[in-house]
Amino acid sequence: MASTFVTKPRYEILDGLRGVAALIVVGFHMMETYRGPDYASQIINHGYLAVDFFFVLSGFVTGYAYDDRWGRMSTWEFFKRRLTRLHPMVVFSVLIGAAFYFFQGYYSKAALENTGWILFFACILTDLLMIPTGRGIDIRGWGEITSFNGPSWSLMFEYWGNVLYAFLFRRLPTVGLAAVCVVSAFFTMDVALGWDVFGLFHKQQFNLTGGWILNGQHMYTGFVRLIYPYVCGLLIARLLSGRITPENISGSPIRIKNSFFWCSLAIVVILCMPCIGGKVGVADGLYQCLAVWFLFPLIVLAGAGGNMTREWTAKLCRFLGDISYPLYIVHYPVAMMQFRWIRNYPDAPMWMHIGVFISVYVISIALAYGALKTFDEPVRTWLKKHWLK
């Protein structure tokens, strides 16, 4: 396949949409404390599906950026580039999470009392190396595979997506990628519709939450959430690369005026949609399947086919794109402090709850932007100069 990499545009609208989804994730996590016993009562009800949207974007961007580089780029060079892009913020998030650990207090008392300094620093090391941990190394008492920053679990699956792409997916013909999408769609239904054909779940789940605990149920759910969106993104990138013309340099068949606005609105509606039917069940599980199978890919296609008509929109998309990954990866330790405040002051007046919510939101964005400018960008610049040369 002839390389068209140098002529492809930067999809700034997709960068902006990633930022919109990251902002919703922050709100989703901050609202979790106010929910009832199940996901039906969650205020930003389907915010967790932002991870599945991220995987579609990741597959698309990976295929778009690297499909035509193989032959000029080795597998190790690919991994070096992905590590340079992703891992500096992983390091930053672990250090922030470890520092904030002492001020959160939303873990079990028993877990806190059993945490010695050796275990504490061992967890820092495993998180820095992205080594999943089980209940034997669990300093919060939640059984998470990452000790200091909950959302890092999805980065582990992102890394697995890169491994699968380098060794398998990039070698598949287009029809092979389509076949993987069709087969993996079955597994999406297995989780979201409560089929549990492999008997991995303790009870019928009816949603796509999971991936952050080292057991069969969560690991299966995590890979199910990864494979279809990621491969679908790769497939979209592959198909668009064959449609590029001077009249349509993006290759997308969907061209919508003001696409950033309409795609952003679609993301907000999908992720904030109340639980379908008012309870966790088949109807809501089917909604999640449809979102992952069709709605997210359509948003990516529409975003890829959009044009920037206003300078302020371009600046907004660049800003949102720049902070999207830092915001996603650093907000959770800050949100945990909000959890503790709510736990300590559940009867505080509403204006205080609103004030804390806004404050934590602003602090999370400021921390993400500061991390981007003072750590992530300088470290990546140094790595590009001294490691990727």
Report the DSSP beta bridge partners of residue 70: 73
pLDDT at 201: 94
pLDDT at 9 over 80: no
CA dihedral (299, 177, 67, 8) positive or negative: negative
Per mean pLDDT, which range of 118-122, 164-168, 241-245, 337-341 is the poorest?
Answer: 241-245
Whether the predicted pLDDT of 138 surpasses 80: no
Report the pLDDT value the prediction gives residue 184, as an integer from 0 to 100: 98
Which pTM does this prediction carry?
0.94
Q: Report CA-CA distances (Å) from 21 to 54, 122, 291, 357.
A: 8, 32, 14, 18
Kindly tell me if the per-residue pLDDT of 112 is higher than 80: no
The rounded mean pLDDT for the chain is 90
Could you report the per-residue pLDDT of 344-375, keeping only the tens digit for each?
888 999 999 999 999 999 999 999 999 999 99
pLDDT of residue 40: 86
Q: At residue 242, does pLDDT exceed 80?
A: no
**Is pLDDT larger for residue 335 or for residue 269?**
269
What pLDDT sits at residue 7? 45
pLDDT of residue 5: 38
pLDDT of residue 95 exceeding 70, the answer is: yes
For residue 14, give the nearest of 74, 61, 72, 66 by alpha carbon: 61
pLDDT reported for residue 113: 67
Encode 220-258: b = buried (16+ Cβ within 10 Å), e = exposed: bbbbbbbbbbbbbbbbbbbbbbeebeeeeebbbebebee
Using the predicted structure, report yes or no on whether residue 185 has a pLDDT greater than 50.
yes
Stronger pLDDT, 338 or 325, i.e. the higher one: 325
pLDDT top residue among 101 and 84: 84
pLDDT category at 246 given cuts 50, 70, 90 is low
Average pLDDT over residues 305-324: 91
Judge whether 321 and 15 are in contact, CB under 8 Å: yes
Q: Compute the average pLDDT of residues 240-251.
A: 71
Residue that the structure tokens 């300590």 belong to: 344
User: Distance between CA 171 and CA 77 in Å, rounded?
Assistant: 17
pLDDT band at residue 111, thresholds of 50, 70 and 90? low
Look at residue 109 and tell me whether its pLDDT is greater than 80. no
| Residues of the chain by 3-state class (helix, strand, coil), percent to 5 | 70, 0, 30
For the record, the structure tokens of 375 come out as 């750590």
CB 92 within 8 Å of CB 330: yes
Does the pLDDT of residue 114 top 80, yes or no?
no
If pLDDT is split at 50, 70 and 90, which confidence band does 150 have?
confident
Give residue 36's pLDDT.
Answer: 76
User: How would residue 153 be classed by pLDDT, with cut points 50, 70 and 90?
Assistant: very high
Q: Flag the least confident range among 33-47, 98-112, 149-163, 227-241.
A: 98-112
